[in-house]
Amino acid sequence: MADSIVTHSRSRDLDKLLLRPGNLVGPTFEPGVELRDDLRDYARVLVVGAGGLGCELLKDLALSGFKNLEVIDMDRIEVSNLNRQFLFRMEDVGKPKAEVAAKRVMERVSNVNIVPHFCRIEDKEIEFYNDFNIIVLGLDSIEARSYINAVACSFLEYNSDDKPQEETIKPMVDGGTEGFKGHARVILPGVTPCFECTIWLFPPQVKFPLCTLAETPRNAAHCIEYAHLIKWDEVHSGKAFDADDPEHMKWVYAEAVKRAELFGIPGVTYSLTQGVVKNIIPAIASTNAIISAACALETLKIASGCSKTLSNYLTYNGVGGLHVKVTEFVRDKDCLVCGPGVLIELDTSVTLEKFIHQLEEHPKLLLSKASVAHHGKNLYMQAPPVLEEMTRPNLSLPLYDLLGKIPKDVVHVSGITSKNDKKNSSLRKLRVVFKGIDGVTDMDMAGGA
């Protein structure tokens, strides 16, 4: 009896959305108990990030009727997280965020199953992400958002009229906060703008002149960047700095303190060192809660159709009172990520190895150390070593044969791109057309579907 009362109380507000008709519902919405049960039993949602926003998202989604949740995060809990990442306690410091967050939510919300993944998002196979109905982002990194966006867009397929096929659309809900400001957005690849379509929304990161860092530092950030950008290379002679390695971060902090003492500059702390090196933006718990609520509601709307989704970008500003605005951005039809794909014309004799080399020189791609997949099958993988060895024999084979001798097809390539002297993991969709084969039209060669 007690359990039924608790369940009824928890689903009371949810039932108002799912059990009765309305004027703003989606075209496929059918209210009823079956919809609520299907949401619990079949909807699978992945939360990317288990920090301040990710903790709120897991809690809100679990309380919104989603039973099957998974969360992925590569970080461990630090003392500085405890003021806003409410699922964590002092005794959790040093433990994986994803594992502790999943455990805490399941302790408080009954009948919810949350599977944690303590790893980098790039460590998962692409098909891992295809198993989810919706992907919800609680990230603080432009690079991580860009990668997940590319993964979701890689599942998108277009028909002969360059219209996205609805069953291949992988919905995403993205949230972000910066102090008292935040945003929530809905991304339906091929329909709404993807992350890359509106990358210009993010301001360029602040760069300090090296001469200032080396000769006339004026504040704590200058001392930290000196240790990070100059001193590290001097001492470690080419060893790559890993911002996610605590020992590397502690070394930079210690050197920054020495630098600050030399010039009489106050304010260097370990927390500030992390913020400067990793470009961490100050977070406030109340902003995380507001943005998470907006993201959870959009996730529920996408999964159930109980209302029309946000169209398509919500901004929140709590600096001088309360200001909320929704803007409808327009999708870039020529986007390299959510568009039909970059056209590549090849001879049937081109081997997989030569194809990979061409990706490095292609002006739109400039993709190095590329791995190639076709319809979920790995044709060649750069890593891990066991997969590289398994797929190595394919390098000498013609790509035309590996694709089943089909005149035109789509392949997905992942590798490293460089932008502003920074290397990032990237995923791209390519439309490969083989020249001189029956079935290839002039429109195909010109860039049609």
Question: Which residues are known catalytic residues?
Answer: 211
What does 366-432 look like in DSSP terms, one character per residue?
--EEEEEEETTEEEE--SSHHHHHHHGGGGGSBHHHHTTS-SEEEEEEEEEEEETTEEEEEEEEEEE
Q: Which helix (H) or strand (E) holds 115?
A: strand 113-118
Q: Is residue 152 within 8 Å of 116, Cβ to Cβ?
A: no
368-374: strand order across its sheet: 342-346, 422-434, 408-419, 368-374, 377-380
* Residue 434 DSSP code: E
The tokens for 381 are 């993988």
Main-chain phi, psi angles of 181, to 5 degrees: -115, 155
Question: Longest C-alpha distance within the chain, in Å?
Answer: 74
H or E segment and range at residue 45: strand 44-48
DSSP 8-state assignment for residue 227: I
SS3 at position 203: coil
Is-contact 186 298, C-beta < 8 A?
A: yes
- Helices (H) and strands (E) in the chain — how many of each? 16, 13
Phi, psi (degrees; rounded to nearest 5) at 229: -90, -25
- How long a stretch of residues is the chain? 449
Q: What are the two backbone dihedrals, phi and then psi, of residue 124, each rounded to the nearest 5 degrees? A: -85, 145
Whole-angstrom distance, CA of residue 121 vs CA of residue 124? 6
Looking at residue 231, the DSSP 8-state letter turns out to be I
Angle CA 262–265–268, to nearest 5: 105
Residue 395: both structure tokens together: 């390098």
Would you say 64 and 105 are in contact if contact means Cβ atoms under 8 Å apart?
no
Q: List the end-to-end C-alpha distance of the chain, in Å, as a whole number.
A: 59
Contacts of 130 (CB under 8 A, 6+ apart): 155, 170
**Whose structure tokens read 């927390």?**
271
